[in-house]
């Protein structure tokens, strides 16, 4: 019995030893495997010098290719913004001209009828390297603004370009320097062609007789953080098709000494006479000041001084008996003086009132031709009440009063010194 018990214990001991040996063998093998893996990894980290040189050459070649062609897939996406603007109006003219057409203005020119003052579709792009805008347009202000565009050219005339508001491209030359070329808005004046951006619905007389648009090139940038500039070379004074062999130009200087104060000086110099007539150079200066004492109130003013050389000593003067020529003592300059004042106050979150006072003196008809004795000597005031429930929507009620020294405004089947009108307008800008 004791012998059998001993045999059983011996067998159990042998089985225990065999099991322990197997476990130890597995642990040893696993440790060896891990050591091999570590060795392999260490060998991988120690790369072959030949392979390293080849990799370096491939990397350098790849970098060179990237330098030569730095564009990536994400860079090929062009951030184009599309928009549109519609400005509809009804002009209830108290003069009620028989022709239904207003004179000496480009805005809301059709009377006692609903019409479109300006509508456009545009596409624009602006990145840190290039920019541009293309806009097509329609409206009564378009027809009025392009009346002086040349029509004798076969490939460039008003019938082909008057429906093109802007078409220009620009490239960045430096940190803040841009060069643009094409057809773009003019730089003279405080108010914009886009009525949605102005305090008063109609445009001041001085804005109607400076370029709404020009064709040429401009260089713009910053001199300091508070002083910026623009340099312009253009075909002429609100023309795309040039009417002579001379190039016109001008500049803008804008100074912002404070965040709510701005001063601007705009100039234009150029010959505005056709090639077939004697040369007369025009010098136009436009000074603007804007002050925003607080966010609800804006005060602005502008003063324009323009001179134009006389081609000869004989000057055409209009008298009650008819036009006559008067011989001057010298070829002095014709002169024009203009003054404007604006005030805009938002008295409620959705309501604003805008007022403009103006005076335009062009007795010698340097810019505005009336064929009358005293020329274009006109002044007046305009008031606009705005309902602005959304940035895209603007409902406007405007009353405009102007008085001239001579009877130049159409009044039924005659003319009058007064021009009075009430205008309702609604515009949408997206």
- Residues 311-325 pLDDT 10s: 765 666 666 666 665
Total of domains in the chain = 2
Task: For 196-231, write each residue's pLDDT tens digit.
Answer: 999 999 999 999 999 999 999 999 999 999 999 999
Quick one: average pLDDT of 108-117?
94
* Pair 208, 106: CB distance under 8 Å: yes
* 75 is a domain residue: no
* Domain annotation covers residue 77: no
Residue numbers of the domain that contains 159: 85-429
Per-residue pLDDT, averaged over 52-76, amounts to: 55
Q: How many residues does the chain have?
A: 430
Residues 270 and 122 occupy one common structural domain: yes
Residues 51 and 188 in one domain: no
Alpha carbon 255 to its chain centroid, in Å, reads 19
**Strand-pair partners of 421:** 93, 400
Highest mean pLDDT among 21-25, 64-68, 108-112: 108-112
Are 45 and 97 in a shared domain?
no
Q: Does residue 381 lie within any of the structural domains? A: yes
How far apart are alpha carbons 163 and 315 in whole angstroms? Answer: 37
Residue 284 and residue 335 in one domain: yes
Contact by Cβ (8 Å): 419, 396: no
HSE (side-chain half, CA atoms, 13 Å) at 253:
8
Q: Which has the minimum average pLDDT: 81-95, 322-336, 364-378?
A: 322-336
pTM for the whole thing?
Answer: 0.77
Domain match, 58 and 90 both: no
Neighbouring C-beta atoms of residue 393, cutoff 10 Å: 15
Would you state the pLDDT for residue 246?
A: 87
Same domain, 6 and 149: no
Provide the pLDDT confidence category of residue 240 given band limits of 50, 70 and 90.
confident
Average pLDDT, the chain: 83
Across 143-153, average pLDDT: 79
The enclosing H or E element of 352 equals strand 351-362
- Using pLDDT thresholds of 50, 70 and 90, give the confidence band for residue 234: very high
Is the pLDDT at 101 greater than 90? The verdict is no
**What is the predicted pLDDT for the residue at 197?**
93
304 and 251 fall within a common domain: yes
Instruction: Indicate if 327 and 397 belong to the same structural domain.
Output: yes
Whether 136 contacts 123, CB under 8 Å: no
Q: Is residue 76 part of a domain?
A: no
- If asked whether residues 276 and 304 sit together in one domain, one would say yes
Same domain, 46 and 133: no
Q: Please check whether residue 79 lies inside any domain of the structure.
A: no
CB 423 within 8 A of CB 202: yes
| Pair 299, 316: CB distance under 8 Å | no
Q: What burial class does residue 276 get, using C-beta atoms within 10 Å of its C-beta: 0-12 exposed, 13-18 middle, 19+ buried?
A: exposed
- Position 157 in a domain: yes
Would strands 376-390 and 351-362 be described as parallel, antiparallel, or unpaired? antiparallel
Q: Is there a single domain that holds both residue 46 and residue 105?
A: no
pLDDT in tens, 20-32: 444 444 444 444 4
| CATH number of domain containing 420 | 2.40.160.10
Rounded mean pLDDT of 228-253?
90
Q: Considering 22, 38, 68, which residue would you say is the last residue of a domain?
A: 68
Radius of gyration of the chain (CA): 38
Same domain, 63 and 105: no
């Amino acid at each position: 019995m004791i012998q059998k018990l001993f045999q059983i214990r011996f067998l159990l001991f042998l089985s225990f030893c065999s099991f322990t040996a197997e476990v130890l063998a597995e642990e040893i093998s696993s440790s060896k495997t891990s050591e091999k893996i570590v060795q392999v990894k260490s060998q991988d980290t120690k790369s072959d010098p030949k392979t390293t040189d080849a990799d370096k050459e491939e990397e350098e070649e790849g970098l060179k290719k990237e330098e030569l062609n730095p564009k990536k897939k994400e860079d090929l996406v062009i951030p184009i913004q599309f928009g549109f603007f519609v400005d509809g109006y009804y002009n209830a003219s108290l003069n009620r001209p028989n022709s239904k057409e207003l004179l000496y203005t480009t805005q809301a020119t059709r009377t006692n009828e609903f019409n479109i003052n300006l509508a456009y579709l545009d596409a624009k792009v602006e990145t840190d390297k290039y920019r541009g805008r293309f806009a097509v347009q329609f409206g009564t202000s378009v027809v009025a603004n392009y009346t002086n565009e040349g029509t004798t050219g076969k490939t460039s005339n008003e019938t082909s370009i008057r429906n093109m508001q802007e078409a220009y491209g620009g490239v960045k030359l430096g940190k803040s320097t841009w060069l643009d070329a094409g057809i773009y808005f003019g730089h003279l004046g405080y108010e914009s062609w886009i009525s949605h951006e102005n305090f008063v619905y109609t445009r001041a007389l001085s804005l109607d007789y400076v370029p709404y648009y020009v064709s040429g090139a401009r260089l713009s940038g910053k001199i300091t953080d508070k002083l910026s500039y623009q340099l312009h070379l253009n075909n002429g004074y609100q023309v795309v098709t040039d009417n002579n062999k001379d190039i016109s130009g001008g500049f803008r200087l804008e100074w912002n000494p404070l965040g709510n104060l701005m001063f601007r000086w705009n100039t234009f110099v150029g010959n505005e006479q056709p090639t077939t007539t004697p040369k007369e150079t025009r010098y136009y200066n436009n000074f603007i000041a804007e002050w925003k004492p607080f966010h609800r109130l804006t005060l602005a003013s502008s003063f324009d001084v323009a001179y134009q050389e006389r081609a000869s000593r004989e000057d055409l003067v209009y008298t009650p008996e008819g036009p006559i020529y008067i011989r001057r003592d010298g070829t002095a300059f014709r002169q024009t003086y203009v003054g404007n004042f604006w005030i805009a106050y938002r008295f409620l979150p959705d309501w604003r009132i805008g007022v403009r006072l103006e005076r335009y003196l062009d007795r010698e008809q340097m810019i505005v031709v009336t064929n009358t004795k005293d020329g274009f000597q006109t002044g007046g005031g305009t008031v606009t009440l705005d309902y602005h429930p959304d940035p895209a929507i603007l409902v406007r009620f405007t009353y405009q009063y102007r008085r001239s020294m001579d009877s130049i405004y159409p009044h039924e089947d005659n003319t009058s010194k007064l021009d009075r009108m009430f205008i309702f307008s609604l515009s949408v800008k997206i």
